[in-house]
Amino acid sequence: MNKLVKCQSKPSCQTKCGNVSIEYPFGTSPDCYYAGHSTFLLTCDETKNKLFTGNLQVINISHTGELRILNSISYSCYNSTDLTDRIIYNTTLVDFTLSNKNSFTAVGCNTYAVMTTTISYSTGCLSLCDSTQKEDGLCSGEGCCQTSVSSDFNPCFYAFLVEEGMFSFSPSQDLQNLRNVTEFPVVLDWSIGSHTSEQLGNTSICGQNSLCLDSTTRTGYNCKCKDGYDGNPYLPDGCQDIDECTIHKHNCSDSSTCVNTMGHFLFSCPSGFDLNATTNGCMRKHKPEYYGWSQKFFGTTVSFLAILLVVSCVQQKIKHRKNTELRKHFFEQNGGGMLRQRLSGAGPSNVDVKIFTEEGMKEATNESWGREAREQSTKGCYLETEVPLLVYEFINSGTLYDRLHGSMSDSSLTWEHRLRIAVEIAGTLAYLHSSASIPIIHRDVKTANILLDENLTAKVADFGASRLIPMDKEQLTTMVQGTLGYLDPQYYNTGLLNEKSDVYSFGVVLMELLTGQKALCFEKPQQSKHLVNYFASAMKENRLHEVIDGQVMKENKQREIHEAARIAVECTRLMGVERPRMKEVAAQLEALRVGKTKHEGSDQYNEPEVNEHLVGVEILSAQGDTSTTGYDSIKNVTRLHIEAGR
């Protein structure tokens, strides 16, 4: 059995100075410390029996890369009128660094202490003493505080570094003379060399049965004995096996037998006992149970499982019946009967809506409930839940936001594509404002709510925030809702919602199509964070070419680009009355697309077939205002939610 090596220094080297053990790689003579590194050379003052590194007294050496020293305190003392004494110590640490196990501490009344290192790091702390008098009319801390300057004032201030846990502040003792202590222990970090363990490979000074670990606080490395070994890891044979069985470092019970191995230990049980791996103890082996008892247990178990299966089937039938009744209740509550009657009634109707059942929803969505619909052109609703669900057609080419800014961004989006998309969006919004049976304000027009199919045809989607405007009103007063960057500033300030709010948002979308930039980007400089201000400023200063997308500029469509930019600026004017109506915007863009000038044919707007550019609006028209606040179903973009709920 190996014995634990007691010597932690090289042979024939001084092992102690006073009551401090000198451990390698430290030493007091040239052959006793780590060669070539004077950092590890210590001095033993034989007259004082004290160990020093430089002018700092060493009180402990740790293999983990720590050195405990005694460090003097700095202080200032006053009498009632003047400074009587002051000592401020400058500590030289040579090749050591301060450990994060120290605390910078100040003691005194109304004093501020600062510590500054040579690596431009400073820290400080403030110490105050409040008045203890609690009489009316005195400034005693409630609203104002004062410190009395009298014979019993605190005469000294102290500042010092100290190892955590080695100083406990006591007001009754420390504010007067700091208990006559002039030095406190401080922990320094040390390491070997300036290379990592990976760079060193097998060339480190770490001995057998040890690990070479990178220092966690500075460059270089430290050595550590492996688990199951102890000693000085810096010596060739410094780490020796620990006999856990002898020193009782094992967790075996008294009835088990402990067997020591190199770096580990084993335990076993005597004959007639089994090992309990949970408690590391031994328990007597169980005798075989009678066969008859096993038969009874098996029969009882089977009977119990049969009863449990019957009860479960009955519960499932009851639950299914309740769910069926509940779905019928929600269907009627959500107006399903009235909607079905309207869809099946005689007379013309432009509403093409399918009412889905639970089975139909599972089939249409491949049981993903709305994540990916199979029926490419079907629009409908599912009314058998407490909150009705809208079913939209599946659009497979992402959103306009994805094409301009996201993962699907590419250079194939030409100016012709962009202008056509703008015309389709404008025409759709014009239809909602002017031609729907009840005018509809989308209220959240943005590129993330514009879907694109395989032909890059625009589809206006996500009517969760939309509002129906009664025929006898031009605007509504609502709690503000929308998306930052697209939100009409006049609507934001007044809460008055009208069709010009959609016009403003469309203007921002048109600017995004022209520039390829986001409506709001906090990472950009202050002058270009908000696209509307940046775009309008460039237009005014005749430097529009600086903000237009480079792909668009290459296509030599300067007249069309400039005209579209003018329309975008007019749509985003601060006052709603100064903005054009959506129908006028659609006419101007359509004229621009077919090659007419600004003044040719702009007064007439032949409304296109917009149903193909709407996703879900038919249901909105059929059921009324179904707008909600909260999650954006197209893309989880930060939205301004001021409305508490409708």
Q: In this structure, are residues 159 and 123 in contact, taking their beta carbons and an 8 Å threshold?
A: no
User: How far, in Å, CA of 284 to CA of 286, rounded?
Assistant: 6
- DSSP string computed for 191-250: -BSSS-HHHHTT-SS--TTEEEEE-SSSSSEEEEEPTTEEE-TTSTT-EEE--HHHHT-S
Residue with tokens 């060339």, as numbered in its chain: 203
Closest CA relative to residue 511, chosen from 490, 539, 489:
539
CB 142 within 8 A of CB 131: no
Q: Which residues partner with 459 through β-bridges?
A: 451
- Beta strand pairing status for 380-382 and 354-356? parallel
Assign 167 to helix, strand or coil: coil
| Burial of 456 per CB tally in 10 Å (0-12, 13-18, 19+) | middle
Quote the tokens at residue 85.
Answer: 């004494």
User: Has 130 been annotated as catalytic?
Assistant: no
Token pair of 70 as six digits? 């005694």
Instruction: Give the type of residue at 393.
Output: E
Residue 196 Cα to chain centre, angstroms: 32
Please, where are the H alpha helices in 489-637? 489-494, 499-515, 531-540, 550-553, 558-571, 582-593, 617-623
Q: Which of 174, 243, 402, 444 is catalytic?
A: 444
Residue-wise burial string across 539-552, b where 16 or more C-beta atoms lie within 10 A, e elsewhere:
beeeebeebbbeeb
> Which of 199, 253, 262, 257 is closest to 230 using CA atoms?
262
For residue 130, give both structure tokens: 């409040």
Rg of the chain (C-alpha set): 41
Partners of 125 in the β-ladder: 113
Catalytic residues: 444
